[in-house]
């Protein structure tokens, strides 16, 4: 870990704004945030012994959502099957400027993974590969491989930078109680809740003096449960992912070089931006016609849906962002079907697998349709799951959204297609 720390701290030192001197004692000390009108809720929630966990959770979302910048060092421990397993240790340097500038470097053994966004493009690389993609509007919505995967640069922490609008996506959709406990450990408050896949049961430690999230522990039950078809001796029985944050600083300037894509010169960079644009359906073109069968063998055609706003949700049971969003699409369907909104998950898996997945998620009322040969997926130029395609009442493509989305973004695109959600 000492070698990890040296490299990660060196990375951090390069991108701090200002002179190259070591931080002063004052800079190293915890930063007491200025409490404004929004922060009063946070201060009250932290110090009220009878405070509600939901109140504190929302207040933290407000605080992190207001952040102009954030930087920290994160130590990560990944333990499988309890004490019988040797922990996997990693360290990570995080730099963030609102709303979608970031640089995250994770060191795990000999593997160094970096994800960086300058607000327009997102680039990712390790020692063997590098690629460029279009950046998402916020850090929480990034879908590039490394920044969205906890094994590389991903973390539940990034969702908090999206503010209160992100709460639905953070919490497990089946419903969860947010429990709050005040400890005697130097003013530490514990928040316990069920988070979205892949994190599951999660405990968060918050310092009431600084209102900083210091630690996130997750049991990763959604990952453990994905053992179907795995030999018994290889099945995971338990996972504990722990992220400990130190050297946390809010709203301190970060050098612009931090957000520059700078892979090693020996790597060939795969630029996927043009590929993304070329593969996407263009707004305003007629949506390709299709006829697919639902689980009961009944035909569903796009032509039969003319006059409604249609949301096609290209979905799979193994896709975590797909699973996370399914309860929300169920809610949309329940609330707005009578107003002319037609939502259809399109799946290439066996109907029984989808049925089981929906049951596990508590999803009812949605009518998935099946594309076993992925012909419709190809027709709609879908290269990543999830992909959401909104079609207006005249049968024209209104928008294409690729990857993990916020509920707010889906609502904006449905309204743009003429759907009244008020």
In CATH, what number is assigned to the domain containing residue 33? 2.50.20.10
- 358 domain residue, yes or no: yes
358 and 379 assigned to the same domain: yes
Task: Give the span between the Cα atoms of 292 and 386, in whole angstroms.
Answer: 19
Question: Of residues 324 and 4, which shows the higher confidence score?
Answer: 324
CA–CA separation, 193 and 190 (whole Å): 10
- How would residue 74 be classed by pLDDT, with cut points 50, 70 and 90? very high
116 within a domain of the structure (yes/no): yes
Domain boundary among 234, 257, 273: 273
Q: Residues 66, 108: one domain?
A: yes
Task: Please give the pLDDT value at position 173.
Answer: 64
> Is 260 found in the same domain as 313?
no
Asked whether the predicted pLDDT for residue 30 surpasses 80, the reply is no
The reported pLDDT for the residue numbered 87 is 73
Same-domain status, 110 and 164: yes
Q: Is the pTM here over 0.85, yes or no?
A: no
Does residue 37 carry a pLDDT above 70?
A: no
The residue among 239, 273, 307 that closes a domain is 273
Q: Give the residue among 189, 18, 202, 8 at the shortest CA–CA distance from 108.
A: 8
- Residue 366 belongs to a domain with what CATH number? 3.40.30.10
Same domain, 255 and 287: no
Tell me the pLDDT of the chain averaged across its residues.
Answer: 84
Q: How confident is the model at residue 85 (pLDDT cuts 50, 70, 90)?
A: low
Same domain as 41, residue 134: yes
For the segment 95-126, what is each residue's pLDDT rounded down to a tens digit? 999 999 999 999 998 999 999 999 999 999 99
406 CA to centre of own chain: 9
Q: Is 57 a residue whose pLDDT tops 60?
A: yes
Query: Does a structural domain hold residue 11?
Result: yes
Q: Is 26's pLDDT higher than 60? A: no
Q: For residue 266, give every residue at least 6 positions away whose Cβ sits within 8 Å of its Cβ, in sequence order, or none.
A: none
Structural domains counted in the chain: 2
Cα distance between residue 54 and residue 412, in whole Å: 26
CB burial of residue 9 (10 Å; 0-12, 13-18, 19+)? middle
Asked which of 249, 273, 297 is the last residue of a domain, the reply is 273
pLDDT 10s digits, 334-354: 999 999 999 999 999 999 999
Cα distances from 385 to residues 27, 96, 369, 404, in angstroms, run: 43, 26, 16, 8
Q: What is the pLDDT of residue 49?
A: 47
Residue span of the structural domain in which 313 resides: 281-416
Q: Is 138 domain-assigned?
A: yes
Interval 152-170 mean pLDDT: 92
Q: Is residue 422 part of a domain?
A: no
pLDDT digits (tens, 9 = 90+) for 182-231: 776 678 999 999 998 899 999 999 998 888 999 999 999 988 887 666 67
Reported confidence tier of residue 25, pLDDT bands at 50, 70, 90: very low
Q: Are residues 20 and 111 in the same domain?
A: yes
Residues 112 and 261 both lie in one domain: yes
In a domain, 421, yes or no: no
CA 150 to chain CA centroid, Å, is 10
Rounded CA-CA distance 108/91 in Å is: 7
Average pLDDT over residues 6-12: 55
Query: Could you tell me how many residues make up the chain?
Result: 422
Q: Has residue 250 been placed in a domain?
A: yes
Q: Domain check: are 157 and 214 in the same one?
A: yes
Do 145 and 256 reside in the same domain of the chain? Answer: yes
Phi-psi region of 284 (alpha: psi -120 to 50; beta: other; left: phi over 0): left
User: Does residue 89 share a domain with residue 54?
Assistant: yes
Question: Do residues 66 and 201 share a domain?
Answer: yes
Report the pLDDT averaged over residues 391-412. Answer: 89
Whether residue 3 has pLDDT greater than 70: no
């Amino acid at each position: 870990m000492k070698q990890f720390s040296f490299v990660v701290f060196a990375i951090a030192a390069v991108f701090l704004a200002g002179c190259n001197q070591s931080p002063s004692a004052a800079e190293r000390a915890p930063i007491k945030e200025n409490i404004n009108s929004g922060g009063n809720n946070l201060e009250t929630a932290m110090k009220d012994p009878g405070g509600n966990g939901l109140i504190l959770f929302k207040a933290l979302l407000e605080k992190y959502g207001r952040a102009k910048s954030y930087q920290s060092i994160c130590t990560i421990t990944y333990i499988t099957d309890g004490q019988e397993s040797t922990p996997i240790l990693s360290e990570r340097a995080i730099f963030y400027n609102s709303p979608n500038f970031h640089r995250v470097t994770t060191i795990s053994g000999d593997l160094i993974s970096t994800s960086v966004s300058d607000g327009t493009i997102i680039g990712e690389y390790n020692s063997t590969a590098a690629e460029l993609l279009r950046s998402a509007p916020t850090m929480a919505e990034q879908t590039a491989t490394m920044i969205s995967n906890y094994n590389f640069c991903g973390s539940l922490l990034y969702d908090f930078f999206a503010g209160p609008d992100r709460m639905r996506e953070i919490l497990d959709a089946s419903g969860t109680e947010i429990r709050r406990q005040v400890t005697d450990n130097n003013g530490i408050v514990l928040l316990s809740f069920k988070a979205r896949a892949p994190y599951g049961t999660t405990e968060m430690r918050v310092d009431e003096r600084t209102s900083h999230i210091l630690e996130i522990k997750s049991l990763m039950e959604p990952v453990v449960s994905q053992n179907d078809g795995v030999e018994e001796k290889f099945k995971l029985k338990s996972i504990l992912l722990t992220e400990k944050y130190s050297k946390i600083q809010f709203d301190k300037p970060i050098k612009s070089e931090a957000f520059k894509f700078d892979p090693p010169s020996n790597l060939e960079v795969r630029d996927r931006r043009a590929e993304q644009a070329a593969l996407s359906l263009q707004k305003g073109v007629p949506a390709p016609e299709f006829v697919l069968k639902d689980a009961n063998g009944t035909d569903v055609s796009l032509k039969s849906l003319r006059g409604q706003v249609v949301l096609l949700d290209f979905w799979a049971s193994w896709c975590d962002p797909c699973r996370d969003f399914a309860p929300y699409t169920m809610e949309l369907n329940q609330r707005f079907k009578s107003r002319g909104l037609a939502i259809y998950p399109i799946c290439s898996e066996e109907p029984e697998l989808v049925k089981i997945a929906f049951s596990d998620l508590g999803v009812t009322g949605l009518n998935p349709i099946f594309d076993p040969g992925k012909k419709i997926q190809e027709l709609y130029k879908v290269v990543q799951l999830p992909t959401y395609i909104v079609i207006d009442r005249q049968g024209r493509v209104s928008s294409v959204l690729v990857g993990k989305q916020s509920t707010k973004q889906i609502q904006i695109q449905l309204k743009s297609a003429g759907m009244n959600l008020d």
